[in-house]
């Protein structure tokens, strides 16, 4: 039993590291790719929002195909391979110089669609493979290795682009080729994982008949202050954050190396602080952790306008990454305390959709503002200032959180994306009903 458990950990960790390196070498550089090839700040700013919004819709449609796959492993491996194939197609088109903004957006949309479709099924699969008593330790250990892999791959990508800066499309083509190969390796490792019996998902269907929409609407009605806060803060963030990439690469003309170092600083700061967020929350309270982190995040965009010195920006990335770690932990605590266990996966799909919608609205308004103001350092500074004001205005909803009683506990998470101003986008690993629990339910019925 111990040997099989260790084998699963090794396989899962190698899969996680391969996927993390794909993120570090691949999707992280979508905005940089558009700046290098099109020099269009608005298209570069929205490549991390519009395709994700489209992907959140396609994800729901793809999730409906799970009936075609009798086993969890087949579903996850198929969509992981399709994600790698999308990067391979993008890489090939760049090699031959056959690309356009629309094509890059299409590849990004399909890439995230396949990744997001596989996520919930992977969640159900892995959380059932790992015994409940070992689950938190398993995913915490796994995530540490994945964080190292993400950081090293991100820096490697920046160094590689720096060395081939005179051959932009070929350099990016090689980068995305490496990312595609890493995803294929990940899919191969996933296929070596043990599978779950089909009756697990069938039993869950019989136990919980509520639709996603009904679960989501009921939650919003009951916790409208949380939903409103999340939607508004997301839109406020992406109003300015979407354009940090073009600001750094096009306006400040930072080298790829400096650019990736700044991204790495935010990521590293976030990862380091994540290990202390539970203790901080228990000491000062989740509500105060949320309030203080929101206040800091509100100030960060304005601080970006004060200096373009890389050392100063590095300090801001430390502040930003740390604040995002605290903010996300606080939000996850509120979500986990207000969502019934069996409904978490379904409800988070709905929340992610509105997250993506808010991000699109925010980035579209930010892009329109740049277009109206005219592209210049002053224009970027203006939208960063407005982003600060919008973020800080969300503080008016914080007192409503003070009425919400919550329990604080460790939450296993995984990095699913890298973003310039927030370090990383994380999602919780949500345990599903275990095999033993489902057998008990069957016996009782």
Tens-digit pLDDT string for the chain (445 aa): 566 778 899 999 999 999 999 999 999 999 999 998 888 889 999 998 999 899 888 887 776 676 677 778 888 999 999 999 999 999 999 999 888 999 999 999 999 999 988 888 888 888 888 887 888 888 888 989 999 999 999 999 999 998 886 567 889 999 999 999 999 999 999 999 988 776 555 344 444 455 667 777 888 888 888 889 999 999 999 999 999 999 999 899 999 999 999 999 999 999 899 889 989 999 998 989 999 999 999 999 999 999 999 999 999 999 999 999 999 999 988 888 887 776 777 777 788 888 889 999 999 999 999 999 988 889 999 999 999 999 999 999 988 887 777 787 777 777 777 776 666 777 777 655 444 443 443 334 3
Q: State the pLDDT at residue 323.
A: 95
**For residue 23, which of 108, 101, 100 has the smallest C-alpha distance?**
108
What burial class does residue 117 get, using C-beta atoms within 10 Å of its C-beta: 0-12 exposed, 13-18 middle, 19+ buried?
buried
CA distances from 289 to 61, 277, 285, 301, 408 (A): 37, 9, 6, 20, 12
Give, in degrees to the nearest 5, the angle at Cα 31 between 29 and 36: 90
Q: Which residues does 308 contact at the CB level (< 8 Å), separation at least 6? A: 252
Distance CA 114, CA 383 (A): 33
Look at residues 117, 119, 120 and name the one whose alpha carbon lies nearest to residue 201.
Answer: 120
Assess contact for 376 and 59: CB atoms under 8 A.
no
For residue 382, give both structure tokens: 């203006």
The reported pLDDT for the residue numbered 340 is 75
CA distances to 87, 281, 289 from 278, rounded to whole Å, are 37, 5, 10
Residue 58 to residue 76: CA distance in whole angstroms = 16
Give the residue among 395, 79, 126 at the shortest CA–CA distance from 236. 395
Kindly report the backbone phi and psi dihedral angles of residue 425, in degrees, each rounded to the nearest multiple of 5, phi listed first.
-100, 125
Q: What pLDDT is attached to residue 2? A: 61
Which whole-number Å values give the CA distances from 300 to 290, 304, 312, 319, in the listed order? 16, 6, 12, 8
Strand-pairing partners, residue 417, are 425
Q: CA neighbours within 13 Å on the CB side: how many for 198?
A: 8
Token pair, residue 304, equals 């970006």
CA distance 115 to 59: 9
- Domains of the chain (ranges; CATH) run 7-195 (1.20.1250.20), 211-433 (1.20.1250.20)
CA end-to-end distance (rounded Å), the chain: 30
Number of other CB atoms surrounding residue 49 within 10 Å: 24
Beta strands in 162-274 (DSSP E): none
Model confidence, pTM: 0.88
Whether 32 and 245 have beta carbons less than 8 Å apart is answered as: yes
Backbone angles phi, psi at 413, to 5 degrees: -130, 170
Question: In Å, how far are 10, 245, 296, 421 from 316, measured between CA atoms?
Answer: 36, 15, 10, 9
């Amino acid at each position: 039993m111990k040997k099989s458990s260790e084998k699963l950990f090794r396989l899962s960790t190698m899969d996680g590291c391969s996927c993390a390196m794909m993120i570090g070498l691949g999707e992280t550089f979508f905005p940089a790719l558009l700046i290098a090839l099109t020099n269009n700040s608005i298209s570069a700013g929205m490549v991390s929002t519009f395709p994700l919004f489209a992907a959140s819709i396609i994800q729901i449609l793809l999730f409906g195909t799970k009936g075609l796959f009798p086993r969890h492993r087949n579903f996850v491996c198929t969509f992981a391979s399709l994600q790698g194939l999308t990067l391979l197609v993008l890489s090939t088109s760049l090699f031959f110089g056959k690309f356009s903004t629309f094509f890059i957006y299409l590849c990004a949309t399909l890439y995230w669609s396949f990744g997001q479709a596989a996520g919930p099924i992977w969640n159900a699969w892995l959380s059932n493979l790992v015994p409940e008593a070992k689950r938190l330790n398993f995913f915490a250990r796994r995530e540490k290795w994945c964080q190292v892999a993400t950081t090293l791959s991100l820096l490697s990508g920046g160094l590689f682009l720096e060395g081939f800066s005179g051959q932009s499309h070929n350099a990016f083509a090689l980068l995305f080729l490496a990312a595609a190969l890493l995803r294929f390796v990940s899919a191969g490792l996933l296929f070596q994982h043990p599978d779950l019996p089909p009756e697990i998902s069938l039993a869950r269907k019989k136990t919980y008949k509520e639709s996603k929409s009904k679960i989501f609407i009921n939650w919003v009605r009951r916790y409208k202050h949380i939903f409103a806060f999340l939607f508004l803060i997301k839109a406020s963030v992406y109003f300015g954050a979407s354009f940090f990439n073009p600001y750094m690469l096009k306006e400040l003309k930072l080298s790829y190396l400096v650019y990736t170092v700044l991204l790495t600083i935010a990521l590293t700061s976030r990862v380091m602080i994540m290990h202390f967020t539970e203790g901080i929350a228990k000491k000062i309270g989740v509500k105060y952790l949320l309030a203080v982190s929101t206040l800091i995040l509100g100030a960060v965009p304005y601080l970006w306008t004060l200096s373009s010195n890389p050392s100063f920006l590095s300090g801001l990335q430390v502040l930003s990454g740390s604040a995002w770690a605290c903010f996300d932990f606080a939000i996850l605590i509120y979500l986990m305390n207000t969502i019934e266990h069996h409904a978490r996966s379904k409800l988070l799909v709905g929340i992610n959709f509105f997250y993506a919608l808010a991000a699109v609205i925010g980035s579209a308004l930010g892009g329109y503002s740049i277009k109206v103001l005219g592209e210049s350092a002053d224009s970027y500074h203006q939208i960063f200032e407005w982003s600060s004001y919008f973020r800080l205005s969300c503080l008016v909803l914080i007192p409503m959180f003070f009425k919400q009683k919550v329990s604080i506990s460790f939450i296993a998470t995984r990095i699913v994306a890298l973003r310039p101003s927030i370090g990383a986008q994380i999602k919780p690993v949500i345990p599903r009903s275990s095999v033993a629990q489902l057998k008990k339910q069957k016996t009782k019925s």
